[in-house]
Amino acid sequence: MKVLHGISLEVLPGEVVCIIGPNGAGKTTLLRTISGLNRATRGSIRFKGEEVAGLKPYQMVRRGLGHCPEGRRVFQLSIEENLITGYVPGRGKSFAELRDQVYALFPILGERRHQSAGRLSGGQQQMVAIGRALMGSPELLLLDEPSLGLAPIIIHQIFEIVLKLAESGVSIILVEQNIDLSFEVADFVYALEHGSLQCSGPAAKMAADPRIKDIYLPGLDGQDSH
């Protein structure tokens, strides 16, 4: 089945790119293609100047890609072991250093480090998934709906992390349904529909465009939740 049609997209160093689109638009498929889980039928993918289409996901990860997949997919191992799986040696920081960073971000994980991740609540699992992706000290981080199932207070935290990471030079591709915040945080936005690119542009301009508002942000001008 053909899911994506001739998409061209670019992410610059330290940039936060957001991909939006209705369900089934192909956002997840796009991320999976970038990280090599799905093979692109045609076209090229370049990462840090190198052609990477056809590389396996683990090869991508070792080149500095991080992917926090849709649906969490934590391992039924202890939290700490989940972090071990995500650690990629030889990318600068030591395991302990990275692990402590993750625990600092999500203290609950540190508290339960020896508990099986399979027994965490949905939102806690999401934290594990993000933490695990960070363990590879990625230069490009793909986040597939990271705020899914998280309490508002944690969502805020996630977006703060995204900002922090971007500050430190990590490029981020963010797939989100939480468009209000995404548009704030993102630099550049791609809108996808039925597997093809519909519109792209700087986030601020996107947010301001009435047509985009109509399609993606109905009721944004309405009441805020707080």
Partner 1 sequence: MLKFDHVTKQFGELAAIDDVTFEVKPGIITAVIGPNGAGKSTLVNMAAGSYGVTSGRILVGDTELQKLPKYRIAHAGLSRTYQNIRLFDGMSVVKNLEVALVPPRVGSLIANTFGLSGRAAAEERRARCHAVLERLGLAAYAERQAGSLAYGQQKLVELARAIVAEPRVLLLDEPAAGLNHGETEQLKQHILALRAPDLAMVLIEHDMKLIMSISDTIVVMNRGRVLAQGTASEIRTNTEVQEAYLGQPGAIKDIEAAARGRRNRVRIREGEGLTWHQP
Partner 2 sequence: MGALILQQTINALTVGSIYALIALGYTMVYGVLRLINFAHSELFTAGAFIGLALAGALGVAGHPTGGLLVGFITFVIIGLAGVSVEIVAYRPLRGTSRLAPMLSALGMAVVIQNAVMLIGGRRPLIYPSFLPSGVIDVFGAIITYKQITIFLVAVILMVALELFVNRTNLGVRIRAVAENAETASLVGINPNMAISLIFFIGPGLGAVAGILYSSFYGVATFTMGFVIGMKAFTAAILGGIGSIPGAVLGGFLLGFIETFATAWMPVLTGGLIGTEYRDIFAFSVLVLILLFRPAGLLGEHVSEETIVYKSDF
Give the footprint of partner 1 on this chain (CB under 8 A): 12, 14-15, 20-24, 28, 70-71, 108, 119-124, 126-127, 145, 148-156, 159-160, 163, 166-167, 177, 179, 181, 184-185, 187-188, 193, 196-206, 209, 212, 215-220, 223-226
Cα separation, 138 vs 62, whole angstroms: 9
If the CB atoms of residues 65 and 203 are measured against partner 2, the closer one turns out to be 65
Q: Helix 152-167 to helix 122-134 angle, to the nearest 10 degrees? A: 10
Q: According to CB under 6 A, which residues from 50 to 89 bind ligand ATP?
A: 70
Among 122, 152, 169, 202, binds ligand ATP (CB under 6 A): 122
Cα separation, 130 vs 127, whole angstroms: 5
Which one of 10-18, 22-30, 77-85, 217-225 is the stretch in contact with Mg ion (CB under 5 A)? 22-30
Cα separation, 48 vs 61, whole angstroms: 13
Among 76, 156, 169, 180, binds partner 2 (CB under 8 A): 76
Choosing among partner 1, Mg ion, partner 2, none, which partner's interface includes residue 123 (Cβ < 5 to 8 Å by kind)? Answer: partner 1
Q: According to CB under 6 A, which residues from 131 to 190 bind ligand ATP?
A: 149
Least distance (Å) between residue 36 CB and partner 1? 21
Q: What is the DSSP string of 151-217?
A: -HHHHHHHHHHHHHHHHTT-EEEEE-S-HHHHHHH-SEEEEEETTEEEEEEEHHHHHH-HHHHHHH-
Among 16, 28, 65, 128, binds ligand ATP (CB under 6 A): 28
Residue 11 makes CB contacts below 8 A (sequence gap 6+) with 17, 140, 171, 173, 188
| Residue 28 is a binding residue for Mg ion (CB under 5 A) | yes
Total residues at the site for partner 2 (CB under 8 A)?
A: 27
Cα separation, 23 vs 41, whole angstroms: 22
Q: Which tokens is 216 given? A: 């993606």
